[in-house]
Structure formats: C-alpha cells, structure tokens
Structure 1
Amino acid sequence: MITVVGIPGNRRVELFRAAAVAAGLPEPAVVGWRDVCAGRFDLDPGSLVRLESPGEDAEVDRMFRGAGRAAEHGEIVGLAAWYAGFMAAARRVEHAATGPLTTPVDELAVLFDKRRCHALLGAHGVPVPDGFAARGYEEVRAAGWPRVFVKPAHGSSASGVIALAFNRGRVSAYTSAALDGSKLYNELRVHHYTDEHTVAAIIDRLGADGLHVERWLPKAAHAGKVFDLRVVVIAGRASHVVARTSRTPLTNLHLGNARGDLAGIRAAAGEERWAAAMATCERAAACFPGSLHVGVDLMFAAGYGGHAVAEVNAFGDLLPGLLVDGRDTYAAEVAALRHWTVTA
C-alpha cells in the first residue's frame, strides 16, 4: 500500500497515482498537507509514504507560517518560518508512519536548506561552485567576487534568486523578484536591475531569512542560449534529463524559458563529458541515500570545460511528457519501487 502526502487533486499527486494504477498497484491513498498541519490524519499500517510538494495551496502556505501574517499571492516573506512549519509537518508524518518514507525527513531538511545541501555535496566531493552564507547585501559585496548567484536559503522555483554582477562600481542583477512598496513579490518574468539601492533592498529583504551565495559559473550555451540540465535520479541512476535554455542567467522553465535540444547538447558535450556529468548527478543523489528520487540541476561550464551541481531538489521530478523507455518520471519511480531498498 502506498500513501501520498500532498495537495489532493494537484497534478503531481494525480500523475503519481495514475502511474501506480497503470503498473497494477492498488490506487494510492492521499493525505492532504492541510490535514497533517491540523493533526487530522491517519496512515495505513505499514504503508509506504511518499511526501509530495506542498506548493500551490495558499492555505497550506499559511498553516506552515503559523500565527504570523499570511503571505499574499506571490509574496516572498517569512521563508524561514515556512521552512520550520514544513519540517514540523513532515515530522508529524514521519512519527505516524510505520512503513518507509520515499524521502526521509532528515534528508528533506537538508534538501530544503541550500546552505546545508551545498556543504554536504562539497564534503562528499561533488563539484559545486564556491559558496558562503550571508544575511545581507554588504556581506555579498564585501566578498569581492565579481559575479555571484544570491539564493534564499529556503527558496524554491527560482523565487528570490538573483544573478548579480559587479563591474567598476556598477551593478547588474537579474531576478524574478520585484519590490512593491514595502513588499517583495516573485513574478513570472525576469527583471534586470542596475540601481544598486534597489538591488541592495531586495537582497536585504531576503537576507532576513538567510542567504546562500555562490560564485557565478558561466554556463555553456547551445543554439544561442545558455542552458543547464535537470536530471532526475531514480534509485541511484540518472534517468530523465531535460535541458532548460534561456537568454538570461535564470533557466527555470516557468519563467518563460524553453526546453532545449538535448540530443544536440549531448553531442556537443561528447560522450565522455556527458557520462562524467551523469556520474556526478548520481554522486549528488548518493548524498541522500534514503531518497527514492531527487532532481539534480547540473551546469556545464562554458565550452563544456567542466561541470558543477547547482541544486538538488526533493520534488524535482515534474517533467510532463518526457518519456524514457516509454515511462515518464512517475512510472519510472513506481517501477523502481519493486526493487528499491531503503539505505538511510
């Protein structure tokens, strides 16, 4: 028996349930994050538990944040409180479960903290850009690095991520974040800021909840656009890969970017470099041995002269329509469950 803890009716939940049924398994039960937060849920004894993304539900977002002011749609605020609430809810599930979780909560806690995730990867020899933790703009500038990515410690989907460059006293920043009076919002388009006061205000606002800063690795380009790869690693093997291409430094597909020519990119990299990159993704996933799957964001350096891991995502497997051997990511995960052994 499988239980999915997620947002009832959400496409992530429904795609996984459909994959399980198509594989001949009993239809998974669904427990909503709202019910978990309220303490009104039960798990079937011995059920395998899949934790699914809590996103796209404003009420769950409010419940995670607790008694503080609820965030408006798209508002970036209280990320540390959201993280604490999410982890507390996940622990409730863990304590109630008598069967295994496909993403252990200890690993989930690291995956949703970019500072801890980066440190863990580096400690295990996974290539990552140099990085450090910060709380505001002055710390970022004082590092003296000419080009950096500034990331909220607990953000996701590029929310609040800033590609920042310094050049002879001038600044250039690309981000989907936008100030509106005293509030900061995430928008579905990339803004380019050159006013230092505005950039500093955005970073300081994000810094209240903690920042992770990385050296900007110039990415390889293909067909006139820079790209990175989302690699879904399932049961230890690199499985589904999509290239995310952009004319700005931010490649997330929901920001108006597009999937790229994966075959062309693979050919340009060459099989030796491609195989090395996939092996790196598998090494990154091995840092989370109890997780059935993770999504690894991998960057090839300009000219394919090396590569590095930018992120590892707990819920990075939503790649609609991408089939490998006739299976989407969810069908591949269901198939892997038949021989998956929990190693955490």
Structure 2
Amino acid sequence: MTFTVVGAPGDRRVTLFAAACRASGLPEPRVVGWPDVLRGVPLDFAPGTLLRIDSPGDDPEADALLRGPGDPTRVGGGAAWYRNFTRALDRIGAAAAGTRPLGDVGEIAVMFDKRRCHARLQAAGVPVPPALPEVTGYAELRARMAEAGERRVFVKPAHGSSASGVVALQAAGDRIKATTSAARDPGGYHNSLRVRSYETEAEVAALIDALGPDGLHVERWLPKAALDGRALDLRVVVVGGVPTHAVVRTSRAPMTNLHLGGLRGDLDAVRRALGEDGWRRALDVCAQAAACFPGTLAVGVDLLVGIGWRRFAVGEVNAFGDLLPGLTGLADGPAAGVDTYTAQVRAALSREGSPCAT
C-alpha cells in the first residue's frame, strides 16, 4: 500500500506525513509538487495509490502561480488564487481515476470558499454564526450592518486562510475599530505576525475597500468563553468522522490563531468548564460539521464556544487544518498517543483493510 501526496515539497506538512508513513511501516510517499500541477505538467498517479491532497503551503513559486507575481506576504488576490486553485483541483480529479483519494476535490473547493462552506453547514443544521449578505466594500458593509442591527462583525476574505485579511470590526456611532493582522505600507497591505488596530473611518474604509474586490464573507461576532482573561476557541481535527485531536487556542485579541500570538490553552480546564455533557456536545458539533464533507478523510473544525460555556458555533472547516505538531490524540479516542498524520495513515489503511492499520 503506497501514498502519493500533492503538496509543497519540503513543507512541514509533507515531512510530518512522510514520517507517519515510515512509522507505520510504509514506503516513503511519492510527492507531486503543487508548482508542477499549476504549470500543467501531466499528472500520472499509479492505480490503487492512496492519494492525499495537501496544502500549497508557503511555497513562493506556487503562490506566484496561484495569485500572480508579487510579494508572498501581500494581502489580497484571493479570487485569482481560488480560480487557479480550483482549476488545479479539477486537473487532479481528472487524473485520479483508479486511485483512492483521501479528499474529494469538490469538497476541498467548498471549504476554501467561506460563503459556500457556511451555506453548506447551515443547510445541514450545523450551528454557525449568522452571516450578512455578501459585500464588496466599506459603504456596503456598513449598510448591511445597519440593516441587520449588527455593531460587531468578523469580515473575512472569501478565499483567505491563516487569518490573512480577517478583520474584527466594531462600530458604534462615530466610533470604529478594526483589529487585523493586515499591516499597511506604501505597497498596500501585508500579512504581519502582529495584530494591530485601525481606529479612524478613513483607515478602516481603505482596508475594507482593498479587500472587497476579492469577495467578503461577514459574520456576527460571537463573544467567546474565556479562561484567565483570554478568549478561546478550539481547533478539532476529525478523522474518519471521529474527533481525534483538539487544541485550545487562547488570545487577548479577537483572533486566536497561534501564529498571531495565540497560545495553546489547557484542554483539561476547558473540559471541566464545559462538563462532560458539554464536552460531548462540542465534539458532536465538530463531527456534524465534518459529516458535511463525507468524501474527505480529515478536516480541521474551528469551534467557537460562547460565553457561559453552553453554546457552540462552527467558525470554519479547514481542508488542511491538521498541522498541529507535537499534539497527540484525545486520551479517550481512537488516536490516543499519536499525531494527526499517523491517525490519518491508520484510518486510511483501515478503510482499505490493510494489516498495517494497527
């Protein structure tokens, strides 16, 4: 039994997945680089191979082929990125006949469009934050907020990832505050590892208008539960329909992403605060969200926990949300003691009836 990975050669995800294969007694996976896929190099997948589609990662060459030439740290270009990404997914899907894909290309495309993903979750009865109609600029955003009576919203680029261009917006009368990792310089907006705030209408309008042409998804800002003065949410990896790994992400800023200064929190403390019934309900919501993508072996679910520890909402479902180095599976789950990649290798082999699955 062998794996082929479409990914960014040398990317940490590919390296960790290869290590999981070796630890399971399997050969090193063959890696097909995203740049080759995006340049139209003919794809040749061996019949019967287990095909894993992974993230393009931080590969500058892949980024230039997806968004066009420019600084890889720039914010924006999501529409072009998505257009080229989905075309590449279609090429992979067409070449994958006879393989055993671990991810459905159509489902991956939905997960990378926040508007479509939100709509699919909502239609399935998964709790999600209420969304406003799509907007393309600041004036339209403020009008939609006024119509809905919303003063606090999250503005998300429709095709962004890693919180790139995400804006937590608060507006009340003449007062306005936009919190984001997008830093402005003479060349436009760039991703920063530091969260900052813009507090004049001119600054906020310029930011939203710069992001708007690529399409924006706007959701109600749901106040999050907190521990020790830090707001939190959960990233839960669901493998084969079962939640296997969970990490608590905490922050004093609205964004909890770990690369933006968020810290891993105490999962045991969260479980105590939720109680066992609440914890089971939280995992059930994550499993329900993953079930909306039945053709994809593993997804990362961002679960929002409301103030009071009783309400949940799914913020996003991530096709490539399994990069949690050093995190082992839930002690009472099927991936206890192993990382997210080993859990996926085992699940894939079990699905194929391989004796290497244990």
Asked if Structure 1 and Structure 2 have the same fold, meaning a TM-score greater than 0.5 normalized by the shorter chain, the answer is yes
1:243: how far off? Answer: 0.4
Residue 34 of structure 1: aligned partner: 35
2:101 is aligned with 1:113: no
Conservation of the 8 A alpha-carbon contact between 1:292 and 1:340: no
Q: Distance in 1 between matches of 2:307 and 2:320?
A: 28
Contact 1:71 1:77 in 2 (8 A): no
Match of 1:338 in 2: 349
Residue 73 of structure 1 and its aligned partner are, at CA, apart by 3.0
SS at match of 2:127: coil
How far the C-alpha of 1:303 sits from its partner, in A, is 1.6
State the match for 2:245 in structure 1.
240
Q: Which letter maps to 1:14?
A: T
Residue 182 of structure 1, CA deviation:
4.9
Residue 283 of structure 2 aligns to a residue whose secondary structure is helix
Distance between the aligned counterparts of 1:13 and 1:73, measured in 2? 20
Query: SS where residue 164 of structure 1 aligns?
Result: strand
1:230-249 CA-partner distances (Å, limit 9, x unpaired): 00000000110000000011
- Aligned position for 2:203: 198
Give secondary structure in 2 for the equivalent of 1:208: helix
Q: Which runs of 5+ in 1 are unaligned?
A: none
Equivalent residues in 2 for 1:5-44 (5 A)?
Answer: 5-40=6-41, 41-44=43-46
Q: Is the 8 A contact 2:114 2:217 kept in 1?
A: yes
Identify which range, 195-204 or 107-116, moves more after superposition: 195-204
Which residue type is aligned with residue 35 of structure 1? D
1:185 aligns with 2:186: no
State the distance in 1 between where 2:103 and 2:216 align.
Answer: 24
Write out aligned runs for 1:203-222 (5 A).
203-222=208-227
SS in 1 for 2:317: strand
Q: Normalised by the size of structure 1, how large is the TM-score? A: 0.96
Distance in 1 (CA, whole Å) between partners of 2:55 and 2:187 is 29
CA distance in 2, matches of 1:37, 1:50: 16
> 1:171 deviation in Å?
0.5
Tell me by how many angstroms 1:79 deviates.
0.8
Equivalence for 2:131: 131
Query: For residue 333 of structure 1, what is the amino acid of its counterpart?
Result: Q
Superposed CA offset, 1:144-169 (max 9, x none): 21100000000000000000011232
Q: TM-score, normalised by structure 2?
A: 0.92
| 1: CA distance, partners of 2:102 / 2:160 | 22
| CA–CA separation in structure 2 for the residues paired with 1:318 and 1:340 | 22
Percent sequence identity over aligned pairs: 56
Return 5+ residue gaps in structure 2 as ranges: 330-335, 353-358
Which has the larger displacement, 135-144 or 278-287?
135-144
Q: Retained in 1: the 8 A contact 2:102–2:348?
A: no
Task: Indicate conservation of the 8 Å contact 2:76/2:165, yes or no.
Answer: no
2:338 to 307, 327, 330: 327
SS of equivalent to 1:213: strand
How far, CA to CA, are the matches of 2:268 and 2:184 in structure 1? 39
Q: CA deviation at 1:138?
A: 1.5
For residues 338 and 45 of structure 1, the distance between their equivalents in structure 2, rounded to whole angstroms, comes to 16
Structure 1: which amino acid aligns with 2:168? A
> 1:141 is paired with a residue of what secondary structure?
helix
C-alpha distance in 1 between matches for 2:276 and 2:137: 42
* RMSD over equivalenced CA pairs, Å: 1.2
The size of the alignment, in residue pairs, is 338
Pick aligned residue for 1:292 from 275, 289, 297: 297
Q: CA deviation at 1:26?
A: 2.2
Question: What does residue range 303-322 of structure 1 map to in structure 2 within 5 Å?
Answer: 303-322=308-327
Aligned to 1:99: 99
Q: Distance in 1 between matches of 2:122 and 2:93?
A: 28
Alpha-carbon distance between aligned partners in 2 of 1:29 and 1:182, rounded to the nearest angstrom: 39
CA distance in 2, matches of 1:340, 1:270: 33
